[in-house]
């Protein structure tokens, strides 16, 4: 059994539920004899557990069920947005769990943000009566692309983080902890797949409207990051070549055009505040606000329709952070998708996230545990 084959098989076996040989034959593409040999080798080294066979009431021998041996220790997620940090610490099965958060200027104070995250991490460990030595793995989530070698690409998004190396900063303070860094939308997509609207889904588009536009792709059950970590940057698709300048250096990017539309409609308020204000006005019966929300959804949906033609996802999950996405936005997105997608994929389900911003630390814990069935 090669190291690559071992890793690929382990990625298909979950920690929290057991799977049968038939399940693994279907998902791995391996023959039953080859799979049986690999499973028994993994069992001998203690990597997987074989649960007692349970009769199903039908004919034939009861099927054995397999699951991965749970990881040991504590796992943590530090999930940063542009204006807050959320910390979650848990053991392998959430039997011990602590969470805390703090509002602060992340974009303009990298050192202060990491200091706050490090302090909140220790507060969570203290709440659980656990020493820092019990921490096995930590995921750092940032609202910017992450390139090769776990290097954030914050230019134009997090000004004070340019040239700063947050992973090294954390490793100096947590030398025995495995630390990885991931884009915030990718973390949220993992959170939705493990505990939210993406459960059971192997091909998913996640969209986050807060305060710009973040998105993530899960293709074939795996996060798709792209060659340089920039996959999913739908907010920087140009929709108006004569539009407003964007922080990325281009003009008329989708995120900037939506921002301007929301800002003009709310008398100068911007970002998430503008969206929340539009939601409130629409609910109060303001038909103009409803039209603006519908148009925002349509513009986004048109780009998602083009994306659906290329990757054919099962669903789109939409989050607006601290409040559920408004039905007017979701309806506009569905209309936009139907306008640009092939008929075969034009009825793509668009589903509101039940988790909101909580999906990010949840996804961070899942990645820290390595507990996903290939979604890494």
* Concatenated DSSP letters of 209-228: ESSSEEEEEEETTEEE--SS
pLDDT at res. 298: 95
Q: Give yes or no for a cis peptide into 68 (omega within 30° of 0).
A: no
Closest among 322, 311, 14, 351 to 192, alpha carbons compared: 351
The Cβ-side half-sphere exposure at 315, using a 13 Å CA radius, reads 18
Partners of 147 in beta bridges: 151
Two tokens, residue 275? 């969206």
pLDDT at res. 147: 80
Partners of 20 in beta bridges: 65
Two tokens, residue 44? 């001998």
CB atoms within 10 A of CB 22: 11
pLDDT at res. 372: 42
Q: Rounded to 5 degrees, what are φ and ψ at 84?
A: -165, 165
Instruction: Tell me how many degrees the CA angle 231-236-242 measures, rounded to the nearest 5.
Output: 155
Q: Give yes or no for a cis peptide into 161 (omega within 30° of 0).
A: no
pLDDT at res. 373: 37
C-alpha–C-alpha distance, residues 86 and 139, integer Å: 12
In a structure prediction context, what are the per-residue pLDDT tens digits for the chain, which is 376 residues long? 787 788 788 878 876 677 888 888 888 888 989 988 888 888 888 788 887 655 545 555 667 788 877 667 899 999 998 889 999 999 877 777 999 999 999 989 999 999 999 999 999 999 999 999 999 999 999 998 888 767 888 887 888 999 899 999 999 999 989 999 999 999 999 999 989 999 888 899 999 987 678 899 999 888 898 888 889 889 899 988 888 888 788 899 988 888 777 776 665 555 555 778 888 888 999 888 889 899 999 999 999 999 999 999 999 999 987 778 999 999 999 999 999 999 999 999 999 999 999 999 999 999 988 744 344 5
Are 120 and 113 within 8 A, CB to CB?
Answer: no
pLDDT at res. 197: 94
C-alpha–C-alpha distance, residues 303 and 340, integer Å: 8
Two tokens, residue 219? 């293709």
């Amino acid at each position: 059994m090669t190291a690559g084959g071992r890793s690929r098989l382990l990625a298909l076996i979950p920690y929290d539920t057991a799977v049968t040989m038939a399940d693994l034959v279907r998902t791995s593409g391996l023959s039953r004899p080859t799979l049986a040999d690999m499973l028994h080798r993994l069992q001998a080294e203690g990597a997987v557990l074989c649960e007692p066979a349970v009769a199903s009431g039908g004919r034939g021998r009861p099927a054995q069920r397999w699951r991965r041996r749970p990881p040991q220790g504590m796992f943590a997620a530090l999930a940063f947005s542009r204006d807050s940090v959320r910390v979650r610490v848990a053991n392998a099965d959430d039997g011990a769990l602590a969470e805390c958060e703090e509002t602060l200027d992340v974009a303009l104070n990298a050192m202060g943000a990491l200091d706050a995250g490090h302090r909140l991490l220790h507060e969570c460990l203290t709440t659980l009566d656990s020493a820092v030595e019990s921490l096995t793995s930590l995921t750092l989530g940032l609202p910017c692309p992450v390139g090769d070698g776990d290097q954030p690409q914050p230019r134009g998004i997090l000004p004070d983080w340019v040239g700063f190396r947050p992973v090294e900063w954390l490793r100096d303070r947590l030398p025995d902890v495995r630390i990885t860094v991931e884009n915030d939308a990718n973390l949220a997509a993992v959170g939705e797949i493990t505990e939210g609207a993406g459960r059971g889904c192997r091909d998913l588009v996640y969209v986050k409207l807060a305060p710009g536009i973040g998105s993530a792709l899960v293709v074939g059950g795996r996060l798709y990051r792209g060659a340089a970590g920039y996959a999913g940057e739908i907010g920087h698709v140009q929709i108006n070549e004569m539009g407003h300048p964007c922080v990325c250096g281009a003009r008329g990017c989708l995120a900037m055009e939506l921002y301007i539309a929301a800002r003009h409609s709310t008398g100068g308020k911007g970002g998430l505040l503008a969206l929340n204000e539009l939601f409130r006005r629409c609910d109060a019966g303001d038909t103009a606000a409803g039209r603006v929300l519908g148009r925002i959804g349509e513009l986004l949906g048109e780009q998602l329709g083009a994306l659906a033609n290329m990757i054919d996802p099962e669903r789109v999950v939409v989050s607006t952070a601290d409040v559920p996405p408004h039905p007017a936005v979701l309806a506009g997105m569905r209309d936009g998708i139907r306008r640009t997608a092939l008929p075969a994929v034009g009825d793509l389900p668009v589903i509101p996230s039940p988790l909101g911003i909580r999906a990010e630390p949840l996804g961070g814990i899942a990645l820290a545990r390595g507990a996903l069935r290939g979604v890494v």
